[in-house]
Amino acid sequence: MNAPDLLLLRTAPKAPRTLRWTGAALELLDQTQLPGTVTYRRCTTLEDVRDAIVTLQVRGAPAIGLAAAWGLVLGMAEQDALPAERWGEALEAAAARLRSARPTAVNLAWALGKMLAAVDEQNLSGRAGREALAVHAAFLQEDDERVCATLGAYGASVIADGARILTHCNAGALAVAAWGTATAPMYHLQAQGRRFKVYADETRPVLQGARLTAFELSQAGIDVTLITDSMAAHLMSQREIDLVMVGTDRVTRNGDVVNKIGTLSVALAAKHFGVPFWVACPLSTYDPATLTGQDVPIEERAPEEVTHLGGQRVAAITQVRNPAFDVTPADLVTGGIITEAGIARPPVGDALAALLRP
Ligand code: MRU
């Protein structure tokens, strides 16, 4: 595979920044207020950051990992006076507290693991430890941008001119440091001046597609059409979709794809109608330690996300299920998995392992 052209690193992002570190605080774009209001939550403590993750003010697998990395910096700033021998234990406890915020996206544990390794390698504690954590959190954030730009170039290479692309949830700029994962190929195509069209599933119950993907793509001047989740199969049956491109919260060793609830229905319909199903997956989201998607904890969220819309009750009953993610079996990934190391084509589990083999 040729080295990708990192065109996006030479392009100014159009979406508002998801995370901003000020030196003393983490400012998070409050995604619960979008698309109506662009406002930032200022987090100065670990608990502020954890709460922002739990309440989806910051969401999307890579973004919650990055927020947690900065949350660890803030948490350890609260512990500056701790004796050196107790610092490591406090660091582990702070990481565990952040890791417990959401269970499904592996990026949370991945980013915190990288942060712990960074201070461990240098055997640091106290103020020096905290400064090293801040340096590493900044590195992870910058690296995420480079990773997404690379994914964008690889992803764009599999999209034909004039393609009509269906996406689900928001695997966009708002879910990462910049550019997104599933949307990075779209921004890359736009920067190349190529023609394409996007369909965004609204993504019940939290409406990440309607509120976030439609917002960021339309703000960027990309041709995007909103549909309800139940319309996707119909559009495929009418030959109005050329390919599906989604993000993921975790890809397991066998190539199963855990992503926002509803992704499985899209993949099943795509297989039926012969529409290629692609997944954009930074390696921070690949979890070879977990064998299959059935081994991944699926977050169950509050019933009010289903019974209410915009604060208004829309359901007659309160007995509901609300799993936030589902598992798309590897054999439904008919296009491939796009990573910053290249593209894994079916069978995707084996191809991912081969891609990463030194
Ligand atoms: O509950 P969310 O909004 O955090 O879920 C987000 C998704 O499922 C995304 O598709 C996934 O995290 C990939 S983001 C690049």
Per-residue pLDDT tens for 201-231? 999 999 999 999 999 999 999 999 999 999 9
Atom of ligand 1 nearest to the CA of 285: 13
Return d(Cα 16, Cα 8) in angstroms, integer. Answer: 16
Residue 331 and residue 194 share a domain: yes
Residue 327 and residue 239 share a domain: yes
- Burial readout 86-110 (b: 16 or more C-beta within 10 A, e: otherwise): ebbebbeebbebbbebbbbbbbbbb
Atom of ligand 1 nearest to the CA of 105: 12
Task: Give the domain-ending residue among 96, 119, 148.
Answer: 148
Task: Give the domain-ending residue among 83, 117, 148.
Answer: 148
Average pLDDT over residues 57-82: 96
Residue 13 and residue 59 share a domain: yes
Around 151, how many Cα atoms within 13 Å sit in the side-chain half-sphere?
Answer: 34
Residue 1, pLDDT above cutoff 70: no
In a domain, 1, yes or no: no
Residue 177 and residue 121 share a domain: no
Return d(Cα 331, Cα 328) in angstroms, integer. Answer: 8
Dump pLDDT digits (tens) for 144-183: 999 999 999 999 999 999 999 999 999 999 999 999 999 9
Q: What is the domain range of residue 93? A: 7-148
Return d(Cα 217, Cα 69) in angstroms, integer. Answer: 27
Dump pLDDT digits (tens) for 245-300: 999 999 999 999 999 999 999 999 999 999 999 999 999 999 999 999 999 999 99
Q: Is there a contact between 86 and 41 (Cβ–Cβ < 8 Å)?
A: no
Residue 183 and residue 170 share a domain: yes
8 lines ligand 1 (CB under 6 A): no
Tell me the three state secondary structure of residue 293: helix
148 lines ligand 1 (CB under 6 A): no
Q: Which two tokens stand for residue 39?
A: 């406002």
Instruction: Provide the pLDDT for residue 318.
Output: 79
Dump pLDDT digits (tens) for 111-133: 999 999 999 888 888 999 999 99
Residue 336 and residue 202 share a domain: yes
Residue 2, pLDDT above cutoff 80: no
Look up tokens 């992803």; give the residue: 155
Whole-angstrom CA distances from 254 to 53, 174, 290, 329, 347 are 28, 28, 9, 9, 9
Residue 113 and residue 233 share a domain: no
Instruction: Provide the pLDDT for residue 122.
Output: 86
List active site positions.
249
Residue 186 and residue 52 share a domain: no
54 C-alpha to center of ligand 1: Å?
Answer: 13
**Percent of the chain, pLDDT > 90?**
93
pTM value is: 0.97
In a domain, 170, yes or no: yes
Residue 188 and residue 77 share a domain: no
Return d(Cα 56, Cα 28) in angstroms, integer. Answer: 11
Task: Give the domain-ending residue among 132, 148, 164.
Answer: 148
Instruction: Provide the pLDDT for residue 310.
Output: 86
> Which residue out of 168, 259, 305 has the highest number of ligand 1 atoms within 8 Å of its CB and is therefore the one to mutate?
259
* Greater model confidence, 13 or 298: 298
Residue 81, pLDDT above cutoff 90: no
285 lines ligand 1 (CB under 6 A): no
In a domain, 91, yes or no: yes
Question: What number of other Cβ atoms are within 10 A of residue 59's Cβ?
Answer: 27
In a domain, 2, yes or no: no
Residue nearest to atom 6 of ligand 1 (CA): 60
79 C-alpha to center of ligand 1: Å?
Answer: 32
Residue 295 and residue 171 share a domain: yes
169 lines ligand 1 (CB under 6 A): yes
103 C-alpha to center of ligand 1: Å?
Answer: 12
In a domain, 101, yes or no: yes
What CATH number is attached to the domain comprising 250? 3.40.50.10470
Residue 3, pLDDT above cutoff 90: no
Structural domain count of the chain: 2
Residue 29, pLDDT above cutoff 80: yes
Atom of ligand 1 nearest to the CA of 324: 1
**Closest among 148, 155, 156 to 174, alpha carbons compared:** 148
In a domain, 160, yes or no: yes
What CATH number is attached to the domain comprising 116? 1.20.120.420
Residue 157 and residue 144 share a domain: no
Residue 157 and residue 128 share a domain: no
Return d(Cα 229, Cα 166) in angstroms, integer. Answer: 11
CA 9 remoteness from chain centre: 19
In a domain, 15, yes or no: yes
Instruction: Provide the pLDDT for residue 217.
Output: 98
